[in-house]
Amino acid sequence: LGEPRSREYRAAARALHHVWGIEPVYIREGGTIPVTAALERLFGAPAVHLSLSQASDNAHLENERMSLKALYRAKQTVKRFFTELAVELGLAPPAE
């Protein structure tokens, strides 16, 4: 289910804050990827799910969509996440 105090979640929180300008909200909902726990065990690595769209995007429903602004920010967030994760792992200096 994820551990918000883990280095992966700390990196994700910093990335989300950097790109979106707000603190992330941790909620446990969804379940569209039930294989996640098996993949974590198989690869020996935690999974971090980042919801990068809005409820109004109708995920997995008719007329599913994502605004271009949200898509662009999603790309920025993922890029920043890997930068922040490198910092957490001691592979890079703190991001600017």
pLDDT for res 76: 97
pLDDT for res 86: 97
**DSSP letter for each residue of 2-63:** --TTSHHHHHHHHHHHHHHSS---------S-TTHHHHHHHHT--------S-GGG-TTSTT
Average pLDDT, consecutive stretches of 10 residues, N- to C-terminus, the chain (96 residues): 86 96 82 79 89 81 88 96 96 89
pLDDT for res 85: 96
pLDDT for res 44: 93
Give pTM, 2 decimals: 0.84
Q: Is 2 left (phi over 0), alpha (psi -120 to 50) or beta?
A: left
pLDDT for res 53: 80
